[in-house]
Amino acid sequence: MVAVAQVRANQFADKYGSRYPRAVDSLLTNLSALTANLHYPVEHRGRVRLTNLLERTLRESRRRVK
């Protein structure tokens, strides 16, 4: 899962790096923190407390999808 996230982040960086350089830099810099929950088994992910950065990112993503 982490490898998939890394590949997708790199694809995102290639596509949007020129338009949003600071956002892409922030994403790539914090990618290990953003994907920390993916190191745990799927069964445990709901119980593991997430970092504030990850919680804010997920909350913002959910808000934008709605």
pLDDT in tens, 7-58: 999 999 999 999 999 999 999 999 988 888 788 788 877 666 666 777 777 7
pTM of the model: 0.61
Least Cα distance to 35 among 49, 16, 17, 54 occurs for 54
Q: Look at the block and give the residue holding tokens 């804010």.
A: 56
Q: According to the model, what pLDDT value does residue 54 have?
A: 72
Q: How many domains does the chain have?
A: 1
- Look up residue 63 and give its two tokens: 């808000």
Domain that holds residue 39: 2-65
Q: According to the model, what pLDDT value does residue 48 have?
A: 67
Alpha-carbon gap, residue 47 to 34, rounded angstroms: 17
DSSP for 10-57, written as a single string? HHHHHHHTTT-HHHHHHHHHSHHHHTGGGGS-GGGTTTSPPPHHHHHH
